Amino acid sequence: MKKKITIRKIFYGISSFFSKTIVKISLLLLSIIFILSILIFFIEYGKNQEIKSFFDSIYYTVVSITSTGYGDITSQTMPGRLVIMLGIIAGLLTLSLFTGTFASIFVDIQLKRQRGDIVIKNIKNHFIVAGWKTDFIGLLTQILIMNNELEPSNIVLVNNETQQTMQLVLSEPKFSGINYLHGEYFDENVLKKASCRTAKELIVLADDTGRISQSEIDSKTVITVLTAKSLNKSIYTCAELYDEKFSSYLKKSYCDEIILLKNTTHLLISQASMRKGFSQIFEELINPKKGNQLVSELISEKFHGKPYRELFNELSQKEFLPLGIVENAGNVFLRKKNALKEAQKTPDMGKLVNNLKSIKELKANDPIFNPPLSYIIKPESAVIYFTPIKIKENL
């Protein structure tokens, strides 16, 4: 049964390939060259000293029908001249059809790219940005600034904005090469077209334009994360929410980072009201344009099981400013999967039960600021520190 399916797929693949217009025209052109070369060879061979082999007749035919005409080989017989005259006419018609079709296909691909009506292929470890924001250009710029190694060609935008709106984004020189897919970002087929299965990270934006209700936006966000995780368990997901009640659904779907917009804004305002200058301090911490970047980076294995003092001293010597540790950093699903493997290694049933309970309570991406220097660094942890940043010139 498997053999039949494989043969059928191969057959459909071949028939699909040869059904394409550009392939048909190419085969027609090659057929004309081959037939003319045979006729020229049989007519001219032995009568024309310039045609000593079949390759010479092929060369003469190609040079003639492409109107190159070097003149190093010419027909010496009347039938040969008639054949090459017909060949030139047929060749010119076929070549013009070939170039016209090729140009049409190229233009069609470009138009599809602009409309976001194309499957994103041959891309891995990319960054998917799903949804829309009012200052979308500013947000994309910040993403590129914060991720120095991220190139526009490794970003896939997924939304259902109008073509005119997206043209304003795609026409920006700093976003040259960026990929765009038009459609509802929570749709499984759309996420598949965005190559979600091979993506490294997904950020789901909460629309702030006021066109739809906040509850509907949050519902779409939850569906998007659930769908993305079903396609790719290892994808790192970050989602914006308006209402905190939806966060429990995201946690159950192993969403790695949840940004509660209202809570974040309220906390910032309340802190600023209590502590003078707090808003400026907060901006200094997170705004890379101020000259420094807040970095979270996985800790090398050589520090696992070692006191925080050793890591602190090494970073300080590099003129970095360590701020703390993030336990169970990275993808929630992978952290729990790895923890489960470690927990099952013990033969003691009592200890196994306790290990499984601790996995259930495991909190991913758990920050610990200013830990004591005697703090023992755990595996799968990241360090938080300040580092100078160089902003890309084109941004």
Residue 34 CB coordination number (10 Å) = 12
Task: Return the pLDDT at 309.
Answer: 93
Percent with pLDDT over 70 in the chain: 81
Dump pLDDT digits (tens) for 197-239.
999 999 999 998 888 899 999 999 999 999 999 999 989 999 9
More confident residue, 166 or 295: 166
Q: Which CATH number is 210's domain given?
A: 3.40.50.720
Maximum separation of any 2 CA atoms in the chain, in Å: 103
Mean pLDDT along residues 162-172: 88
CB-based contact 250:239 (threshold 8 Å)? yes
Contact, 328 vs 363, CB < 8 A? yes
Predicted pLDDT at 108: 63
Half-sphere exposure of 204 (CA within 13 A, CB side): 34
Say if 394 falls within a structural domain.
no
199-208 as b/e: b if 16+ CB within 10 A: bebbbbbbbb
CA distances, 31 to each of 38, 43, 70, 91 (Å): 11, 18, 23, 10
Residue pLDDT, tens place only, 236-292: 999 999 999 999 999 888 898 899 988 877 777 777 776 667 777 777 777 766 667
pLDDT score of 112:
64
Name which of 101, 26, 98 is nearest 34 in CA terms: 26
Pairing of strands 179-182, 127-130: unpaired
DSSP SS3 for 252:
helix
Residues 250, 196, single domain; the answer is yes
Which pLDDT score, from 0 to 100, does residue 311 have? 92
Among 115, 138, 170, where does a domain finish? Answer: 115
Distance between CA atoms of 146 and 148, rounded to whole angstroms?
A: 6
pLDDT for the residue 195: 93
Q: Evaluate if pTM is beyond 0.75.
A: no
Report the share of the chain in percent with pLDDT over 90.
30
* 90, 51: one domain: yes
How far is residue 392's CA from residue 143's CA, in Å, rounded to a whole number?
12
Q: Are 377 and 313 in contact (CB under 8 A)?
A: no
Q: Residue 383 has what pLDDT?
A: 92
Q: Verify that 105 and 145 share a domain, yes or no.
A: no
CATH number for the domain that contains residue 105: 1.10.287.70
Tell me what the mean pLDDT of segment 176-193 comes to.
92
Whether 365 and 330 have beta carbons less than 8 Å apart is answered as yes
Q: What is the pLDDT of residue 185?
A: 93
Q: Which CATH number goes with the domain that contains 374?
A: 3.30.70.1450
Q: What is the mean pLDDT of the chain?
A: 81
Are residues 296 and 361 located together in one domain of the fold? yes
Question: Residue 6: pLDDT above 60?
Answer: no
| Domain span at 344 | 275-388
Phi/psi at 158 (5° precision): -130, 115
Top mean pLDDT of 9-23, 107-121, 154-168, 355-369 is at 154-168
Quick check: is 121 in a domain? no
Q: Which of 264, 289, 313 is the last residue of a domain?
A: 264
Q: Is residue 269 part of a domain?
A: no
Given pLDDT bands bounded at 50, 70 and 90, which one contains residue 4?
Answer: very low
In the block, residue with structure tokens 């940004």: 259
332 shares its domain with 249: no
Q: Are residues 242 and 371 in the same domain?
A: no
**Residue 137's pLDDT is what?**
92
What is the pLDDT at residue 395? 61
Both 15 and 88 in one domain: the answer is yes
Q: Is residue 360 located within the same domain as residue 255?
A: no
Evaluate if residue 354 carries a pLDDT over 70: no
Q: What pLDDT shows up at residue 205?
A: 95
151 assigned to some structural domain? yes
pLDDT band at 45 (very low <50, low <70, confident <90, very high): confident
Neighbours of 252 (CB within 10 A): 11
Q: Indicate if 210 and 304 belong to the same structural domain.
A: no
Q: So what's the pLDDT on residue 154?
A: 93
What is the distance between the alpha carbons of residues 91 and 346, in angstroms, rounded to a whole number? 77
CB 133 within 8 A of CB 198: no
Identify the residue with better confidence: 341 or 11. Answer: 341
- Residue 66 one-letter amino acid: T
- Among residues 38, 32, 52, 34, the alpha carbon closest in space to that of 80 is found at 38
Calculate the alpha carbon distances from 77 to 42, 83, 88, 280, 379 in Å: 11, 10, 16, 90, 85
Helix (H, G, I), strand (E, B) or coil at 367: strand
The whole-number pLDDT of residue 375 equals 94
Which single residue is written with the structure tokens 């710029």? Answer: 141
Structural contact between residues 387 and 293, judged by C-beta atoms closer than 8 angstroms: yes
Residue 114 pLDDT exceeds 80: no
Give yes or no: residues 357 and 232 share one domain. no
pLDDT at 110 over 70: no
249 and 281 assigned to the same domain: no
Poorest-pLDDT segment among 237-246, 346-355, 375-384: 346-355
Q: How confident is the model over 123-162, as pLDDT tens digits?
A: 899 999 999 998 999 999 988 888 878 899 999 999 999 8
Q: Which helix (H) or strand (E) holds 168?
A: helix 163-170
Evaluate whether residue 270 is within a structural domain: no
Give the whole-angstrom CA distance, residue 226 versus residue 250: 8
Res. 7 pLDDT band, cuts 50 70 90: low
Last residue of a domain, which of 264, 284, 302? 264
In the chain, the number of structural domains is 3
Residue 122 located in a structural domain? no
Edge-first strand order for the sheet with 257-260 is 179-182, 155-159, 127-130, 201-204, 236-241, 257-260
SS3 content of the chain, % helix, strand, coil (to 5): 55, 15, 30
Same domain flag for 148 and 197: yes
